[in-house]
A and B are shown apart, each in its own frame.
Chain A
Amino acid sequence: MLFDLSIYRVKGDSMSPYIPNNSFVITKPLTNMKKNKLLIFDHKVYGKLIKSLINVDSSNFFWFKGNSSKSISMQDIGPIKKEQIIGEIIFSISKSSIKFHL
Protein backbone atom coordinates (compact mmCIF):
# COMPACT_ATOMS: atom_id res chain seq x y z
CA MET A 1 0.00 0.00 0.00
CA LEU A 2 1.27 3.45 -0.95
CA PHE A 3 -0.55 6.69 -0.02
CA ASP A 4 -3.64 4.56 0.70
CA LEU A 5 -3.42 3.07 -2.80
CA SER A 6 -3.27 -0.68 -3.31
CA ILE A 7 -2.64 -2.83 -6.33
CA TYR A 8 -4.33 -6.15 -7.12
CA ARG A 9 -4.16 -8.61 -9.96
CA VAL A 10 -7.59 -9.70 -11.27
CA LYS A 11 -8.14 -13.41 -11.74
CA GLY A 12 -11.23 -14.60 -13.60
CA ASP A 13 -13.55 -13.51 -16.38
CA SER A 14 -16.58 -12.20 -14.54
CA MET A 15 -15.66 -8.54 -15.19
CA SER A 16 -14.61 -9.22 -18.76
CA PRO A 17 -14.48 -7.56 -21.27
CA TYR A 18 -14.46 -4.40 -19.11
CA ILE A 19 -11.63 -5.70 -16.92
CA PRO A 20 -10.07 -8.76 -18.59
CA ASN A 21 -8.54 -11.66 -16.72
CA ASN A 22 -4.99 -10.93 -15.47
CA SER A 23 -5.44 -7.13 -15.45
CA PHE A 24 -4.00 -5.03 -12.65
CA VAL A 25 -6.27 -2.68 -10.71
CA ILE A 26 -5.36 0.20 -8.41
CA THR A 27 -7.69 0.90 -5.51
CA LYS A 28 -8.21 3.68 -3.00
CA PRO A 29 -10.40 3.61 0.13
CA LEU A 30 -14.15 3.87 -0.47
CA THR A 31 -15.29 7.49 -0.82
CA ASN A 32 -18.95 7.20 -1.86
CA MET A 33 -21.56 4.59 -2.75
CA LYS A 34 -22.18 5.52 -6.36
CA LYS A 35 -24.04 2.86 -8.37
CA ASN A 36 -21.96 0.78 -10.85
CA LYS A 37 -18.76 1.66 -9.02
CA LEU A 38 -16.21 -1.17 -9.12
CA LEU A 39 -15.23 -2.29 -5.64
CA ILE A 40 -13.05 -4.95 -4.06
CA PHE A 41 -14.43 -6.59 -0.95
CA ASP A 42 -13.75 -9.52 1.32
CA HIS A 43 -16.25 -12.33 0.82
CA LYS A 44 -16.44 -15.02 3.48
CA VAL A 45 -16.68 -17.82 0.88
CA TYR A 46 -14.95 -16.49 -2.23
CA GLY A 47 -12.21 -14.35 -0.64
CA LYS A 48 -11.34 -11.02 -2.21
CA LEU A 49 -13.82 -10.27 -5.00
CA ILE A 50 -14.04 -7.50 -7.57
CA LYS A 51 -17.61 -6.65 -8.60
CA SER A 52 -19.89 -3.75 -9.62
CA LEU A 53 -21.98 -2.12 -6.93
CA ILE A 54 -25.70 -2.36 -7.71
CA ASN A 55 -27.30 -0.93 -4.63
CA VAL A 56 -26.96 -0.14 -0.95
CA ASP A 57 -30.20 -1.19 0.76
CA SER A 58 -32.01 0.40 3.68
CA SER A 59 -30.13 -1.86 6.11
CA ASN A 60 -26.85 -0.52 4.70
CA PHE A 61 -25.95 -3.80 2.99
CA PHE A 62 -24.03 -3.57 -0.29
CA TRP A 63 -25.23 -5.67 -3.27
CA PHE A 64 -22.99 -6.55 -6.20
CA LYS A 65 -23.00 -8.13 -9.64
CA GLY A 66 -20.39 -9.16 -12.20
CA ASN A 67 -20.23 -7.67 -15.69
CA SER A 68 -20.33 -10.97 -17.54
CA SER A 69 -23.01 -13.65 -17.85
CA LYS A 70 -20.42 -16.06 -16.39
CA SER A 71 -20.35 -14.18 -13.10
CA ILE A 72 -21.77 -15.59 -9.93
CA SER A 73 -25.12 -13.96 -9.28
CA MET A 74 -26.06 -11.19 -6.88
CA GLN A 75 -27.87 -13.85 -4.81
CA ASP A 76 -24.75 -16.04 -4.66
CA ILE A 77 -22.66 -13.10 -3.49
CA GLY A 78 -25.30 -12.06 -0.96
CA PRO A 79 -25.34 -8.93 1.22
CA ILE A 80 -21.97 -7.36 2.00
CA LYS A 81 -21.29 -5.14 5.02
CA LYS A 82 -19.45 -1.85 4.67
CA GLU A 83 -16.64 -3.25 6.88
CA GLN A 84 -15.98 -5.90 4.19
CA ILE A 85 -15.28 -3.27 1.51
CA ILE A 86 -11.56 -3.01 0.82
CA GLY A 87 -11.51 -0.24 -1.74
CA GLU A 88 -12.78 1.20 -4.99
CA ILE A 89 -11.05 0.80 -8.33
CA ILE A 90 -9.59 4.03 -9.67
CA PHE A 91 -7.96 2.56 -12.73
CA SER A 92 -7.28 -0.76 -14.39
CA ILE A 93 -4.38 -1.80 -16.57
CA SER A 94 -4.73 -4.64 -19.03
CA LYS A 95 -2.43 -5.78 -21.83
CA SER A 96 -4.23 -3.58 -24.31
CA SER A 97 -5.49 -0.57 -22.34
CA ILE A 98 -5.49 1.61 -19.24
CA LYS A 99 -8.92 2.64 -18.02
CA PHE A 100 -9.86 5.21 -15.41
CA HIS A 101 -12.85 4.43 -13.21
CA LEU A 102 -13.78 7.69 -11.55
Chain B
Amino acid sequence: MIYNLLNFIDKIKPVEKTSAHCDIPCKIYDPITSQIAVLTMIRLVDLINEIETKESLTAQDHAQISRLVSQKEEHGHIVKDEIRIIWGDYIKQPQLEKYPELHDLAHSIMLGASKAKQNIDKSATVDLLEKVNRFAEIFWDSKNIKTFKAVSPYPPEQELIYPDLKK
Protein backbone atom coordinates (compact mmCIF):
# COMPACT_ATOMS: atom_id res chain seq x y z
CA MET B 1 0.00 0.00 0.00
CA ILE B 2 2.83 2.41 0.91
CA TYR B 3 4.58 1.37 -2.28
CA ASN B 4 1.47 2.13 -4.35
CA LEU B 5 1.11 5.50 -2.65
CA LEU B 6 4.77 6.40 -3.33
CA ASN B 7 4.39 5.14 -6.87
CA PHE B 8 1.40 7.44 -7.33
CA ILE B 9 3.29 10.43 -5.87
CA ASP B 10 6.28 9.60 -8.08
CA LYS B 11 4.06 9.84 -11.16
CA ILE B 12 2.72 13.26 -10.15
CA LYS B 13 5.97 14.69 -8.78
CA PRO B 14 8.87 12.41 -9.70
CA VAL B 15 11.33 11.67 -6.90
CA GLU B 16 15.06 11.69 -7.56
CA LYS B 17 16.51 8.50 -9.01
CA THR B 18 19.52 6.57 -7.71
CA SER B 19 21.19 3.93 -9.79
CA ALA B 20 21.91 0.36 -8.69
CA HIS B 21 24.26 0.33 -11.62
CA CYS B 22 25.01 -2.96 -13.39
CA ASP B 23 27.65 -4.08 -15.83
CA ILE B 24 26.57 -3.73 -19.42
CA PRO B 25 25.51 -7.26 -20.42
CA CYS B 26 28.08 -7.52 -23.22
CA LYS B 27 27.63 -11.33 -23.50
CA ILE B 28 31.35 -11.77 -24.13
CA TYR B 29 32.35 -14.87 -22.18
CA ASP B 30 35.28 -17.17 -22.89
CA PRO B 31 36.96 -19.60 -20.49
CA ILE B 32 40.28 -19.38 -22.39
CA THR B 33 41.50 -16.60 -20.07
CA SER B 34 41.16 -18.89 -17.06
CA GLN B 35 42.74 -21.80 -18.95
CA ILE B 36 45.79 -19.71 -19.90
CA ALA B 37 46.03 -18.43 -16.33
CA VAL B 38 46.27 -22.03 -15.06
CA LEU B 39 48.86 -22.85 -17.73
CA THR B 40 50.84 -19.86 -16.47
CA MET B 41 50.63 -21.18 -12.90
CA ILE B 42 51.97 -24.56 -14.04
CA ARG B 43 54.81 -22.88 -15.93
CA LEU B 44 55.67 -20.72 -12.91
CA VAL B 45 55.86 -23.80 -10.65
CA ASP B 46 58.24 -25.40 -13.18
CA LEU B 47 60.44 -22.30 -13.17
CA ILE B 48 60.48 -22.17 -9.35
CA ASN B 49 61.40 -25.86 -9.21
CA GLU B 50 64.25 -25.26 -11.69
CA ILE B 51 65.77 -22.64 -9.39
CA GLU B 52 65.27 -24.89 -6.38
CA THR B 53 67.54 -27.58 -7.87
CA LYS B 54 70.55 -25.23 -7.69
CA GLU B 55 73.08 -26.05 -4.95
CA SER B 56 73.25 -22.48 -3.70
CA LEU B 57 70.98 -19.55 -4.42
CA THR B 58 72.19 -16.07 -5.31
CA ALA B 59 70.39 -12.84 -4.45
CA GLN B 60 69.19 -12.84 -8.06
CA ASP B 61 67.68 -16.31 -7.58
CA HIS B 62 65.86 -15.20 -4.43
CA ALA B 63 64.52 -12.14 -6.24
CA GLN B 64 63.43 -14.32 -9.17
CA ILE B 65 61.59 -16.76 -6.87
CA SER B 66 59.84 -13.83 -5.26
CA ARG B 67 58.67 -12.56 -8.66
CA LEU B 68 57.54 -16.04 -9.77
CA VAL B 69 55.57 -16.63 -6.57
CA SER B 70 53.93 -13.23 -6.86
CA GLN B 71 52.90 -13.96 -10.46
CA LYS B 72 51.58 -17.39 -9.49
CA GLU B 73 49.44 -15.70 -6.85
CA GLU B 74 48.13 -13.16 -9.36
CA HIS B 75 47.23 -15.81 -11.94
CA GLY B 76 45.43 -17.82 -9.26
CA HIS B 77 43.24 -14.78 -8.72
CA ILE B 78 42.64 -14.52 -12.49
CA VAL B 79 41.47 -18.15 -12.61
CA LYS B 80 39.02 -17.55 -9.78
CA ASP B 81 37.74 -14.23 -11.16
CA GLU B 82 37.21 -15.52 -14.71
CA ILE B 83 35.39 -18.68 -13.60
CA ARG B 84 33.27 -16.69 -11.16
CA ILE B 85 32.17 -14.29 -13.91
CA ILE B 86 31.04 -17.10 -16.22
CA TRP B 87 29.50 -19.02 -13.35
CA GLY B 88 27.73 -15.99 -11.88
CA ASP B 89 26.70 -14.11 -15.02
CA TYR B 90 26.42 -16.62 -17.89
CA ILE B 91 25.28 -19.80 -16.14
CA LYS B 92 21.53 -19.80 -15.64
CA GLN B 93 18.93 -22.39 -14.69
CA PRO B 94 18.87 -24.19 -18.11
CA GLN B 95 22.65 -24.82 -17.93
CA LEU B 96 22.39 -25.92 -14.29
CA GLU B 97 19.70 -28.41 -15.21
CA LYS B 98 21.65 -29.75 -18.18
CA TYR B 99 24.99 -29.90 -16.28
CA PRO B 100 24.15 -30.64 -12.61
CA GLU B 101 27.86 -30.85 -11.74
CA LEU B 102 28.37 -27.12 -12.42
CA HIS B 103 28.01 -25.76 -8.86
CA ASP B 104 30.33 -28.39 -7.40
CA LEU B 105 32.77 -27.96 -10.28
CA ALA B 106 32.94 -24.16 -9.89
CA HIS B 107 33.39 -24.51 -6.14
CA SER B 108 36.12 -27.13 -6.59
CA ILE B 109 37.92 -24.72 -8.96
CA MET B 110 37.85 -22.03 -6.25
CA LEU B 111 39.33 -24.48 -3.73
CA GLY B 112 41.80 -25.88 -6.27
CA ALA B 113 43.03 -22.40 -7.21
CA SER B 114 43.59 -21.58 -3.54
CA LYS B 115 45.55 -24.82 -3.07
CA ALA B 116 47.64 -24.11 -6.17
CA LYS B 117 48.34 -20.60 -4.86
CA GLN B 118 49.30 -21.78 -1.38
CA ASN B 119 51.77 -24.45 -2.50
CA ILE B 120 54.63 -24.96 -4.92
CA ASP B 121 53.00 -28.16 -6.10
CA LYS B 122 52.80 -29.04 -9.78
CA SER B 123 50.20 -31.75 -9.22
CA ALA B 124 47.88 -29.15 -7.61
CA THR B 125 48.16 -26.90 -10.67
CA VAL B 126 47.69 -29.78 -13.13
CA ASP B 127 44.65 -30.92 -11.16
CA LEU B 128 43.30 -27.36 -11.36
CA LEU B 129 43.79 -27.36 -15.14
CA GLU B 130 41.78 -30.56 -15.42
CA LYS B 131 38.87 -28.91 -13.61
CA VAL B 132 39.07 -25.69 -15.61
CA ASN B 133 39.20 -27.71 -18.83
CA ARG B 134 36.04 -29.54 -17.80
CA PHE B 135 34.40 -26.19 -17.09
CA ALA B 136 35.44 -24.98 -20.57
CA GLU B 137 34.09 -28.16 -22.14
CA ILE B 138 30.69 -27.61 -20.48
CA PHE B 139 30.70 -23.92 -21.42
CA TRP B 140 31.22 -24.60 -25.14
CA ASP B 141 28.79 -27.52 -25.13
CA SER B 142 26.14 -25.22 -23.64
CA LYS B 143 26.59 -23.04 -26.73
CA ASN B 144 26.40 -26.09 -29.02
CA ILE B 145 30.02 -25.60 -30.06
CA LYS B 146 32.14 -28.73 -30.43
CA THR B 147 35.50 -28.88 -28.68
CA PHE B 148 38.76 -30.69 -29.20
CA LYS B 149 41.79 -31.39 -27.04
CA ALA B 150 45.23 -30.19 -28.06
CA VAL B 151 48.54 -29.68 -26.32
CA SER B 152 49.37 -26.00 -25.95
CA PRO B 153 52.12 -25.09 -28.44
CA TYR B 154 54.26 -23.48 -25.71
CA PRO B 155 55.49 -24.42 -22.23
CA PRO B 156 54.24 -26.07 -20.09
CA GLU B 157 52.77 -28.02 -23.04
CA GLN B 158 49.64 -29.21 -21.28
CA GLU B 159 46.45 -30.40 -22.90
CA LEU B 160 43.73 -27.77 -23.27
CA ILE B 161 40.11 -27.84 -24.40
CA TYR B 162 39.66 -25.56 -27.44
CA PRO B 163 36.40 -24.66 -29.22
CA ASP B 164 36.14 -25.83 -32.82
CA LEU B 165 34.88 -22.62 -34.41
CA LYS B 166 35.30 -23.73 -38.04
CA LYS B 167 31.99 -24.07 -39.83
Contacts and interface: CB of A to CB of B under 8 A. Distances in A.
Interface of A: 6-16, 19, 21, 24-25, 40, 46-51, 66, 68-72, 93-95, 98
A10 B19 CA distance: 6
27 contacts: A6-B16, A7-B6, A8-B17, A9-B10, A9-B15, A9-B17, A9-B18, A10-B17, A10-B20, A11-B17, A11-B18, A11-B20, A14-B21, A14-B22, A15-B20, A24-B3, A46-B19, A48-B17, A66-B20, A66-B22, A68-B22, A69-B85, A69-B88, A69-B89, A70-B22, A71-B22, A93-B6
Contact of A98 (B2, B19, B23): B2
Nearest to A25: B18
Interface of B: 2-3, 6, 10, 14-23, 25, 84-85, 88-89
Given A24-B3, A24-B6, A72 B15 contact: no
B28 to A, nearest CB: 15
Given A69-B88, A70-B89, A13 B6 contact: no
A84 B78 CA distance: 31
Contacts of B6: 7, 24, 93
A4 B15 CA distance: 15
A13 B22 contact: yes
B19 A71 contact: no
Contacts of B14: 9
B20 A71 contact: yes
Contacts of A9: 10, 14-18
